Structure 1
Amino acid sequence: MKLSRLLAPTSRNNPSKVRDEAAIRLVRGGYGLYEPSSEELLLLPLGEVTLGNIFDLFDDLCRDEGGQSVDSASLPGGALSIAVRIVKQEEQLPLLLFERRGRGLDLLSIDGASAPDPDGDPILERLGEELRDRGLEPVLLEKEPGGTIRLALKGSPKARRAVEGLVCPHCGWAGTAHSPAPGRIVDYGPSQEALKEVRTPGADTIAELCRQLDLPPERTLKTMFYSLPAPDGEGRRVVVVLMRGDCKISEAKVAAFFGVDEVRFATAVELHETMGSLGGYLGPVGLPEGVTVIADENVQGLADVAVGANRADHHRTGAAWGRDFRAVVTDLIALEKGKPCPACGASLEEATWRVIAERTPLGTLPEGMDLSYRDSDRKPRRPRLATTRLDAEALLMAFFDGDTLPLDIAPFQVLVTPWGEGESSSAEAAESLHDELSEAGFAVLLDDRFAKAPLREADFDGLSLPVRIALHDEADSVRATLHIDGETADLPLDDAAHFLFHALGGSCSCCDS
């Protein structure tokens, strides 16, 4: 293919309003355009071929794991709608269905109810191996509430549609704010103070409370009121969550504890109906009977802490777990930068994750759907279900976080660029090398444009092709500079062609003769 005939508008300038470094490289390399109004990437031929190669990788992986391709584009439930109609007997399981949806693959795994829970997800594990083989460093993020597992790659801080997360520079632990953080229960010893009410005018934040009482944040207790769907599905109810003052609450963990899809802060009306009091001064002592109270693990055993007094401009000091308040204890903390790593205790650092694959167990089915089968005893059983999303666009961006694309992902394997123009020896040699490699079955792109040298030099690297060969005119010959696997070699043209054929897994004519 000749670059002059290819719709690939390369540029030396950054696209406007794009902050993702990978997206900038993709647009500058002529793989796509950026639409500011919708914040979408519009893929051009180079981008489409690259995305197609990523889908080929996903397809092969799914088929190797026993997956079967379906097309349920007209059905709102996707592959699940197909499974509901077809899966009736235990011998049909396990079953893995996958289909292309947008710029990704959606997978539905169906397993028997009595099958042992897998230690991990084979699709994510295999995909991780495939990505490592291509020079990437994927990590499995710690499971989140609901059992969601994510395979991710570290992206630039301003990566598009990425997940803000955390990483431990010491042990490599990786996760998000909502990842599990067990084992933080501390023995604070018995209380040394009596419970006492004090006036705290305007102290409706932890910072102001600490200033007035001259306390560190860890000697305070947050009492937060959340609203969530009632168990019977009718209306909502208010619950209380306790957290040490220097920590944040993970609403995702609160929702997972109660088995609901979402929680939110209680409104003023809901608070009044529950407490008859104002926010900012609410505390765990003397709560109305019947109110459900849960606490993070690091609240258990707290002693001599300041809590709300359940009336405006007042707090209580000297509050102690067990004596003055108690609750059901679970992991509710939202992990943060600077907090201890759950695995080793070192300080966590911020990270931006491009999520390449995400697997989530499917507990309840959409309304109106029912999926069951009969086991070997003819008894009706519900299968174990999980959905997985393989995000091809996220992986496309991840590859552009690097300098070059892998051989099997790039739209062309080789870029041939002559520095001479027109009838120069290097231009003629480049055309001949392009034809020879193409006839041998390699995907080759020839830069045959009459573009100025600075643009061609920028595109030589900006096209991100894995193998690049530049041809230079000398007095009576043509020399080649070969770029492959991060190495550069300056060779006579014939030697370069010989080396190139072998590097790409072929053999040249001199070897065959």
Structure 2
Amino acid sequence: MRASRFFISTLKEAPSDAEIVSHKLMMRSGMIKRLGAGIYTYMPMGLRVIRKVEAIVREEMNRAGAIELLMPVVQPAELWQETGRWNKMGAELMRVKDRHGRDFAIQPTSEEVVTDVARTELRSYKQLPVNFYHIQTKFRDERRPRFGLMRGREFTMKDAYSFDRDMDGLKKSYQAMYDAYVRIFTRFGLEFRAVAADNGAIGGSGSHEFHVIAATGEDALVYCPTSDYAANMEAAEALAIDSARGAAKEELKKTSTPGKAKCEAVAELLGLPLARTVKSIVLAVDNEDPAKKEIWLLMLRGDHELNEVKASKVPGLGTYRFANEAEIVEYFGTPPGYLGPIGTRKPVKVVADRTVANMADFVCGANEADFHYTGANWGRDLPEPLVADLRNVVEGDASPDGRGVLAIQRGIEVGHVFQLGTTYSESMKATYLDEAGKPQPLVMGCYGIGVTRILGAAIEQNFDERGIIWPTSIAPFQVVLCPMGYDRSEAVKTEIDKLYAQLTDAGVDVVLDDRGERPGAMFADWELIGVPHRIVVGDRGLKDGNVEYQGRRDTEATQVPLADALSFIKGKLAA
């Protein structure tokens, strides 16, 4: 590719609405252009990266035995109504009507459509297993689209769906996809981590998320440096800090704590560690009969934070909401800040986090403004609670596998694999006939990669003050040739054209900057764009028979004999 025949449009400054590094650099390097909130045009430079990402994904999906098809962006509402997601998915699902008034969805994902394909095409156990995938535009009507391609409304995604006879078959299909994802992200040249995850709204049993490691990542990843344990914060298991409850040593005492509504303030007033206090969180579960509404009290150590996903896993709390102040006063007799499990005005269901369940002589609210109980103990002062894992883990917690302590790093989710089971096949009556001729539900898996999101994640992991630093495998160009005086020096023009032809013939994705730009402007453009390898050809170097090589991460250039330039670059690319 010659730069004069390509479209290059760089900016010195990022637009004011660009928030994070990847958004700023993609706008400045001319890779994307904003059309509307969360909607972008992929400009030629950015599209080259997308196509390289897609190529790697496609190669590895095919290698893993998946079969490509293409499902529509616009999907009939009836399919979504069969699974109940037409109403359940909420405002993120873009709903439209055609000229006849019929309802359609602009697809955010394709479980319903692929299950419809399966129930009409997969009739016998002899056709299983099978895995269909496509790379397609998606639309999710985010409430607050931001961060460029990281949280846009329209994006490109690879989603795959496996169909098996039983759970044993699903586990094999799932492992094949997991292994394919490891190969994909390794080929991208990105530092990544696969972590156990919660399935969320999509349903099913087990799942893993694939995260690109980046300090700016939205997600907290929990892992054990001395074992294979890894999970996202939502799914990371938090063990009790103390393995057993100590004996009660203090008497229960109502203690004045005027104006101290927070655990931190109470601990400071009483001269106690924050870890001796217990915080109370009140949840409500509504019923069709308002009189049967349930109020729950969740108890966590004062320095721990509630994990809302874990709370929803407690039997009976699947549809919880946070109680309002009127409900809190009705059941506890006091506004928030002094709540506790002892002496509630009305009966509530008490759930203690594992750590709290093993605490003795703890401090909790007395259900009276400006008062807390000290010396509270389970069994003696209040009934034994229901015990559950309710909290977020913290750095230094024991690893659930017993092989070390936990650490936390930030990551950007770019892929997710799910064991769906029969969630969709049962609701849509997608069955196959087994050896005995009896219908059985298809057992499904679901596997997604955010193709366009990879761009933002890769940049968040790979950039410096000059711009993007693309891994070679997904860079818009692998090599840029920068001539010094292309339009003024016949020697420079002759040698760089020859090198350009050699690299092109060797299959190297090379761009020759023949625009006639000044060296400073030319270098600045390609450093901003992030091409990983640069060769400079000038009269001064040619007099000594050399060209100048500099990798995007290199601080200094290297002199390379002109005769060796092709083999040198091929060696760099192979490395």
Cα distance in structure 1, aligned partners of 2:286 and 2:125: 35
Cα distance in structure 2, aligned partners of 1:469 and 1:233: 74
Residue 371 (structure 2) aligns with: 314
Give the direction of change, closer, same or farther, for the CA distance of 1:498–1:296 in structure 2 (3 Å limit).
Answer: closer
Q: 1:317-365 CA deviation, whole Å, 9 max, x = no partner?
A: 221123323222221111245766656665744x331112112343744
1:325 aligns with 2:379: no
1:414 aligns with 2:468: no
Residue 155 (structure 1) aligns with: 214
Give the direction of change, closer, same or farther, for the CA distance of 1:70–1:448 in structure 2 (3 Å limit).
Answer: same
Residue 508 (structure 1) aligns with: none
TM-score of the two chains, using structure 1 as the length reference: 0.84
Q: CA deviation at 1:243?
A: 1.3
Residue 561 (structure 2) aligns with: 492
Equivalent of 2:160, from 107, 112, 129?
Answer: 107
Cα distance in structure 1, aligned partners of 2:291 and 2:371: 35
1:298 aligns with 2:355: yes
What is the one-letter code of the residue matched to 1:369? M
Residue 82 (structure 1) aligns with: 117
1:467 aligns with 2:524: no
The residue correspondences of 1:168-183 to structure 2 (distance < 5 A) are 174-183=230-239
Cα distance in structure 2, aligned partners of 1:259 and 1:490: 70
Residue 69 (structure 1) aligns with: 68
The alignment partner of 1:127 has SS state of helix
Q: CA deviation at 1:253?
A: 0.4
Report the structure, 1 or 2, having the larger helix content: 2
The alignment partner of 2:194 has SS state of strand
Asked whether the 8 Å contact 2:70–2:134 carries over to 1, the reply is yes
Q: CA deviation at 1:150?
A: 0.7
Deviates more, 1:93-102 or 1:374-383: 374-383
1:362 aligns with 2:420: yes
Residue 44 (structure 1) aligns with: 43
Equivalent of 2:497, from 425, 431, 438?
Answer: 431
Cα distance in structure 2, aligned partners of 1:256 and 1:92: 36
Give the direction of change, closer, same or farther, for the CA distance of 1:272–1:485 in structure 2 (3 Å limit).
Answer: closer
Asked whether the 8 Å contact 2:189–2:472 carries over to 1, the reply is no
Asked whether the 8 Å contact 2:280–2:300 carries over to 1, the reply is yes
What is the one-letter code of the residue matched to 1:496? A
Residue 452 (structure 2) aligns with: 393
What is the one-letter code of the residue matched to 1:125? D
Q: 1:18-52 CA deviation, whole Å, 9 max, x = no partner?
A: 343334443443323456x6255542111112101
Cα distance in structure 2, aligned partners of 1:89 and 1:289: 57
Asked whether the 8 Å contact 1:252–1:262 carries over to 2, the reply is no
Q: 1:380-425 CA deviation, whole Å, 9 max, x = no partner?
A: 4434333222011232223333364344423333211102241312
Matched residues, number: 500
What is the one-letter code of the residue matched to 1:305? F
Q: 1:419-439 CA deviation, whole Å, 9 max, x = no partner?
A: 224131213322332234334
Cα distance in structure 2, aligned partners of 1:86 and 1:466: 46
Q: 1:86-143 CA deviation, whole Å, 9 max, x = no partner?
A: 4444444333222223311122233333526638643233222333345322111233
The residue correspondences of 1:99-498 to structure 2 (distance < 5 A) are 99-102=134-137, 103-115=156-168, 118=171, 121-144=175-198, 147-157=206-216, 162-166=218-222, 174-184=230-240, 186=242, 187-228=244-285, 237-258=294-315, 263-271=320-328, 274-275=331-332, 277-286=334-343, 291-323=348-380, 324-336=382-394, 346=405, 348-349=407-408, 351-362=409-420, 364-365=423-424, 369-400=428-459, 401-402=461-462, 404-424=469-489, 425-474=491-540, 476=543, 479-483=546-550, 489-498=558-567
Cα distance in structure 2, aligned partners of 1:365 and 1:230: 27
Q: CA deviation at 1:63?
A: 2.0
Cα distance in structure 2, aligned partners of 1:174 and 1:10: 40
Q: Which runs of 5+ in 1 are unaligned?
A: 506-513
Q: Report the RMSD for the aligned CA atoms in angstroms.
A: 3.6
Give the direction of change, closer, same or farther, for the CA distance of 1:446–1:303 in structure 2 (3 Å limit).
Answer: same
Q: Which runs of 5+ in 2 are unaligned?
A: 76-104, 106-111, 138-155, 201-205, 463-467
Asked whether the 8 Å contact 1:21–1:156 carries over to 2, the reply is no
Asked whether the 8 Å contact 1:229–1:260 carries over to 2, the reply is no
Q: CA deviation at 1:152?
A: 0.7
TM-score of the two chains, using structure 2 as the length reference: 0.76
Cα distance in structure 1, aligned partners of 2:293 and 2:440: 32
Cα distance in structure 1, aligned partners of 2:124 and 2:292: 39
